[in-house]
Structures are given as structure tokens and as C-alpha cells.
Structure 1
Amino acid sequence: MTEKILIVEDELNLRKLLSIILSQEHDQVITVDNAEEAMSIIQQQPIDLILMDNRLPGMSGLEALKQIKEADPDIFIILMTAYAGVDTAVEALKHGAIDYIVKPFDLNDLKALVKRTLELGKAKKQGINLSPKIELSTSDNKGHILTNSPNMMELCRNIAKVSQTKTTVLITGESGTGKELVAKTIHYYSTRSTGPFIKVNCGALPETLLESTLFGHEKGSFTGAYQRQKGLFERAHLGTLFLDEVAEMSTNLQVKLLRVIQEKEFEPIGGNKPIKTDFRLIAATNRSLQDMISSGEFRQDLFYRLNVMGLSLPPLRDRTNDVMLLARYFANQFCHENNKELLDFSISAVEVLNQYHWPGNVRELSNAIEHAVIMSNGLFIYPQDLPEHILTHHKTPAFNPDFAETEQHGVTLKDKVKNYEKELIINELKRNHGHRENTAKSLGISKRTLLYKIQEYEIVETIV
């Protein structure tokens, strides 16, 4: 059976490479550089698989995906994207993409994905029923995950897929990595998005109060129970229940939680009539449940029930590409909240932020930027605007010795920072042969900021 693959990619070298690689194993590979031409080809001949970039001149890949699937729902489309946030992933899957792959990708991974997709196409043509996709409902209150890091992009891919199911999810990661944000994102992109999202921190309540909070109680079931109280299991019906820090739950409550998950029903405290419930359970912890199982602190059977789909959040120190992306997001947010003009980061502040280890992860970064916004007096955030503990961890050997010696001559910290920034800019301009855009990119600042600094420091651009 002849297999026809259509590649839609505007980057010439990548388009040629994909054509060569896929032509080695498949019958016919057609290449175009825009979505309009791709749609014209589809109207003229049958295509088994489309491998399409998202960012195209003219019509975007996502827009083309929608129109192609409306015209021919049976065509399999794989979307290629360099910006794989949850929004992109969900939109791609929602509008009919069979899958998507993040640039830069491993060619072996791509070949395997193409092969698997074509096999699905053959099965469909032979009349073998494939599981239909669950349609995603929309919501205005969606989780918003910002990332440029490959490991987080892969996580976004998994979030997009798991959000379409009803399965139980266990989210693990250090404190401050954003476990609650992931839980909200799964909920708001799911078919339960119109239902409630209810959260409880299992470590913040004593055992008896947590039990009452989860199960509810009948009137008169204990001293002070003056009326019937619905528990979270009941309130989360047709929605999502998020159990944060589930590892802090007592073994007694673990047994009761396991029964609710298995039976889909529970009895309130003081009640004798089971109540049916239909909620999606998402749990999270910053501890190793495997270690707790070994020490007898956590039930193994409950772990297996919770860990149907496990998502592990990397710490911020392993997401170095995201530090300044998130820092600028938080800066804009806190400037808006405090009625301040939008601030940019000085080059030296960028270096300090990128060198810091961030033991408190994204939560610590958010707090640090809020502190810096409040302390800043100008158009830029400087190192001295950041919390003191971050400055003390800065790797001072990175500074030029000549620059450090100015401390002996009574030069202020602000002057030192400016001298250091000027030196950094000059060195980067030399390294990039005077190319401003490349220099701004290597310094982690906008081109506008670079031009402002060149003018402020009177840097002569005769560097070639």
C-alpha cells in the first residue's frame, strides 16, 4: 500500500532533511513551505499523513489544522512546534491532531512517531475501531504554564494528554515547583472544567478535622455538629478534588481514601447510608512515597491507586531557560499590581538571577521579583533591588578583578554595577562582531534594552 506523507515546513534545511529521512522508509514524501499550498495539494490527491510546522508564513499550522480536519476528518496530522506550552498542545489535540512533537526533536523519535501514526491509519482503513478522542471543553479560568525548557515542554505534552482522560494523577516535585498549577491546568482543560475544582492541604489540618473536611458529617455526630456538613468528596461531584501533600495523611485516613477511590462512594461521619460520588482525584506530594512505603508510613495499595498517571515537576535549577522568562512574567504582574511602570532587568541582575540555585523554586523566584519591583526606583531592576540572601550567593569571581578593586576607592554599589554592565556589553558586542540582536540574545535582554544601555554608557560601536 502506497504511503503519502506531506511535509509543511518553511525552513528550507529542515524541510530537505525531513524529506531525505522519511523517504528512506516511506513511498512518497511531498514538501511545501506554506499551509495554503498544502491545502491545495490535499484537494488534488489523497494524503495519509501531514507533518506540519505550527509557525508558518501566512496561515498558521493550527489554523490550517482546523480547516484540513473540517474538510477531511480522516487525515492524520502531526504538528511540529518550538513552543510547546499546554495551550498549544491542547489546541492541537482538540482540533484533531493525532500528536505533536517539539523542536528540536530527535530524528529517531520522529521516525517512530510517523511509523506508529501510519500503522494507526492502516488499522482504521481495515475497519479496526480506534478509541475516539475525548472532546475538550473550554474555560476562561485555565492554568497557565510558562516554559522554554525541553523537560517542561515534555511535561506540558503529558498534561495535555492526561487532561482528556478521567484517570487519577499523582504530581510529584519539590516545594514551590508549581504542583497546584499543574493540577488546575489538568482540570481546566478537561471535560470537567465546568465543575468545581476543590483543593485541600492534607498537611495543614489535624487528622480529625481533615476527616470531617473530606467526608463531611451528619447533624449530632459529634459535639459541635449542629447541622449536616457536606464533605469535599461530595462537593467535588462532577469536578476535580486536589489533595495537596497527600503524604501527610495518616494511615487511618489512607485506608478510608483507598475505599472511596475503589468504591466511588463514602459515608459521612455519623452516617450509615453510602453516598455515591463522581470526581476526578489529583494528588501531590514533595516527598518520596516509595521511601515512605518502605518505612511503613504510606500504603502501597494506595500509591498504586494514586499513581495511575505520574507527573514529575523538575526543580527550577533544572529549568535554566525558564528563569528569566518567569522573572519577566512576575515583574509585569507585580508592576501592574503596584501601579508601577513596566520594569526591565539590568544585565547584571540577569546574571545574578541565572546563577542563583533557587532552592525555593518558582515560589521563591516570584517572591524575589516582587521584592525587587517594590525596591526598584528606576526603569530597571538591579542586583541591589533583589533580596540580600540572593546577592550573597552570587558567584563574585565572575566579576573582573579590576572592577572589584574599585571598592577601595569609595565607588558606590550602583556605580560598580554600571561599570560591570558596560564591560559585559562591550565584551559581548566584540564576541558577536557588533551584531546587536545576537548580543541582546546572549545577554538575556531585549534589543530595546541593549540599545538603551549602549546609549546610556556611550559605547562606541566600532567593534567588528
Structure 2
Amino acid sequence: MKPQARILVVDDEPHICHNCEKILTRAGHMVTCADNGRDALDRFTQAPYDVVVTDLKMTRMGGMEVLRRVKEMAPDTIVIVITGYATVSSAIEVMKLGAFDYLPKPFTPDELRSMIDQAIEAHRQHLANRTLKGRENRPPTRTTHQLVGGSSRIQRVVEMIAKVAATDSTVLVCGASGTGKELVARAVHANSRRNGKVFFAVDCGTLSGNLLESELFGHAKGAFTDAHADKAGIFEQADGGTVFLDEISNIDMAVQAKLLRFLESREFIPKGRTQPRTVNVRLIFATNQNLEQLVDQGRFRHDFYYRIFVYPIYLPLLKERSEDILPIAYHFIAQFARQMGRSVRGLSDDAVPYLTSHDWPGNVRELRNVIERAVIVCESDTITLKELTFGDRTDDLVRLIGKVPETN
């Protein structure tokens, strides 16, 4: 089997190197191992690698230095950091340095394979998009973060992403649940000059006012009952990068006022402090609500609304771009078949009209879940209508249990 990628594994524990090499070689990759950072960099200078998987803590040159040096020599190389000493601060640091992701030990073979697959796909799309950026024709149908589709409506979204990504303007992404608002935010970040910096996604619907304020702006020790130590907020951690605030209709008025101040001055004051701090962070907002209506009802600040309503991107419902349903379905079939090691490749004649005629109230997220489930239960290389509708009957549960591997 032709190797899919050249991978360099760096770890001073021989059994980790051996296991990673065995797992990834079986997946079709060409794997080289190094037991320390210096040896790894020597190998890296002698031959190109698509992906570097490095341990964080090693006796001869740690993973942080390996990451930094690799990114200096070859910025397009994907670096994945693995460690048995996972902490929030170390995760943030490696992401700031440009790591693709952070995989805590112990990890399963499936987790490693899945992350490598995601890294290779992201790398491929990054290189393709960079090549296409200089062309004067319309943007590609798939952005760096897999916004799939060729319809005129989704092409318009891609065009808007391409235009605003080159700026630092505030973006407001509007659309129903499951339409891909976070994918748009990640695409804006990935195609901007901030793409080597951290991207934070925050679900404002799950955090109360005080908790959201503390998460975003940080706090000083003793600022409130459970503040046992100083805490750097997301804005401070994301300096130079992008922060995506989802479901902003749930943000209370007091936090809206603080966000408005930040948008105007790029300054914020951590809870319990008196001196403002300045950071360079791009904000992207998203909502599934009619904010103008909330303003009229007195539930959303009008000044904050007008400040974030600079560059709105509206995402269509999936049923409004029905010509994209099959391309998206095939995209997910390929993705899940690869992740699960299945040979599923296509759709039967009775499956296609079901997909294209369904209303998809949950939009792309619902379609993704349906395809994932169908790949799990598919018994051949083709998904049928029966497998797409799996789960509609109680006896399907018994069949599903039979497909779950036993564990000791």
C-alpha cells in the first residue's frame, strides 16, 4: 500500500515509539522514530516529513523546542504533541507555538489514527487553499475547515470568508443550529494572518454572566469566593489569535458592556484588578437568534449590536442548498470510513432520494450524525435506505449492541 504520509515520531520511551510506528505503519504511513529531540531535528533536516508526533517532556531537548524548531524550518509541517503530563497551561502554550493538536497519554490506536487522519486532511486542504488564493476565479468549494458544497449560496459564504479573512474586522455569523457557524469562524481564522496563533471557541450559552466574565477576562486571587489564585482569561491567552463567541444572545447585559469596551479600546480589566490590560485579539461572534428583535425587546444592547454588526455572514439552511446534500454526505462517508477502518464507499439507489428529499431540521450536523451511524451499521460497501433510517425502530438497538466490541 502506498504510504499516505511521512511521519516522524519522537519519544524517549521505546515502547511508545514502537507502538506508534506499528499503528501508523499498518495505516499505510511511512514512519521514522527518534528517541530524543536532537536526533529528531537531525533526521528532519535530512528528509522532509508531513507530520511530526513528539513527546512533550524528554531528557535531551523537550517537545516544546522540537515544535518551535520544526515550525521555524518548515511552517507547513503538522506537529502533534503527546504527553503524560497534560495541563491546561501546557496545552495552551503548544497551540500558541503552532501545534495542530495535543494528545494526552495514554491514547488508544483509534485516537492516534483519527488525529493523524485529521492532521493530514487539514494539511492537504491548507496547501490546496494557499495555491488557490492567488487565482482570480471563484473560491474553492471547500475551505480549510471543510465547508463543503458547490451551490451558489455556499459559494457566496466562501467568497465572504475570503474577503474578510484578510482583514481584522469583527465578524457576525448568523444561522440556525447545525449550519456550520464554527466552521465559518475557523475558516476565517485559518485564512487570516493569525492562522499560526491560537483559536478559542467559547459557547456563551453554557456559561452564566459571572463565570463567562471570569473565563474571558480572567480574575485576581480573592476576586470572589472560589478565586484561590490569579487566572489569565481567554483574551489574554489568545493574544495575537482569534476568539469565537457562539450563542451571544445568551450573554447578559453587563458582560455585553465589557465586550463593547474591549471592541472599542482592545482593553479589558480582569475581575478584582484595577489596571486595564491590552491584547491583540480578533473577535468572531455567532448567533442562531434574531438579534435585532432582541434589541427591540430590550434583551440585547443596541450599541453592542451595532458594534458587532460590521460584517454579517448568513448561513443557509441545508434544505435551502439541497444540491450540496450529496457532496456533503459523500464527504462524511469518506471521513468516517477512514476513521473506522471500514470499506464503505457509496450510497444505494434508494438511499439517494431519501437524503435529497429529507428536510434536515438539524442541518449539516444532523446529516453528519446520520452518515456516521450508517457507516457503523453498514454491512457492505454501500449504504442503503435501511441503514440511513437505522434507529427508527426499537429492535435496531439490539442490532447495534451486537456491533459494539466486547471489552474486558
For normalisation by structure 1, the TM-score amounts to 0.55
Matched to 2:280, the amino acid is D
Q: Output the CA distance in 2 between the equivalents of 1:87 and 1:287.
A: 35
Q: Name 1:332's counterpart in structure 2.
A: 334
Q: Which of 295, 298, 305 is 1:296 aligned to? A: 298
- The C-alpha deviation readout for 1:247-289, integer Å capped at 9, x for no partner, is 1101111111111111110100000111001111100000010
- Partner in structure 2 of residue 456 of structure 1: none
Within 5 A, what are the aligned runs for 1:10-89?
A: none
Instruction: Tell me how far apart the structure 2 counterparts of residues 388 and 315 of structure 1 sit (CA, whole Å).
Output: 24
Matches within 5 A, 1:89-128: 91-92=131-132, 94-95=133-134, 99-101=136-138
Instruction: Tell me the equivalent position of 1:380.
Output: 382
* Distance across 2 between alignment mates of 1:86 and 1:308: 27
Q: Deviations over 1:425-463 (max 9, x none)?
A: xxxxxxxxxxxxxxxxxxxxxxxxxxxxxxxxxxxxxxx
Distance (whole Å) between structure 2 residues aligned to residue 361 and residue 294 of structure 1: 28
- 1:405: which partner in 2? none
Measure the CA separation in 2 of the matches of 1:101 and 1:232.
Answer: 35
What displacement does 1:307 show?
A: 1.4
Aligned-CA RMSD value: 2.2
SS at match of 2:173: strand
Cα distance change, pair 179–349 in 1 and its aligned pair in 2 (3 A): same
* Max Rg structure: 1
Contact 1:170/1:308, CA 8 A, preserved across alignment: yes
**Could you tell me how far apart the structure 1 residues matched to 2:344 and 2:316 are?**
29
Structure 1 residue 101 displacement after superposition: 4.5
Matched with 2:150 is 148
Contact 1:265 1:275 in 2 (8 A): yes
In structure 1, which of residues 248, 251, 276 is the aligned counterpart of residue 278 of structure 2? 276
Question: Contact (CA 8 Å) 2:216, 2:235: kept in 1 or not?
Answer: yes
Q: Percent identity?
A: 39
Deviations 1:164-219 (A, max 9, x none): 00100000000000000000000011001111101100001122111110110011
Residue 364 (str. 1) matches residue 366 (str. 2): yes
Residue identity matched to 2:328: L
Aligned residues between the structures: 267
The equivalent of 1:188 in structure 2 is 190
SS of 1:358's equivalent in the other structure is coil
The question of whether the paired residues in 1 share the 8 Å contact of 2:344 and 2:380 is answered with no
- Are the aligned partners of 1:343 and 1:380 in contact in 2 as well (CA < 8 Å)? yes
Q: Which amino acid aligns with 1:313?
A: L
C-alpha displacement at 1:91, in angstroms?
Answer: 4.3
What is the TM-score normalised by the length of structure 2?
Answer: 0.62
SS of aligned partner of 2:343: coil
Q: Structure 1: state its 5+ residue gaps.
A: 1-84, 104-140, 392-464
Give structure 2 stretches of 5+ with no counterpart: 1-124, 394-408
Which structure has more relative contact order (CA 8 Å, sep 6+)? It is 2
Structure 1 residue 388 displacement after superposition: 5.2
Query: Could you tell me how far 1:89 is from its partner in structure 2?
Result: 7.4
The residue number in structure 1 matching 2:235 is 233
1:251 aligned residue (250, 253, 257): 253
Q: Distance in 1 between matches of 2:138 and 2:329?
A: 27
Give distance in 2, aligned partners of 1:243 and 1:102: 26
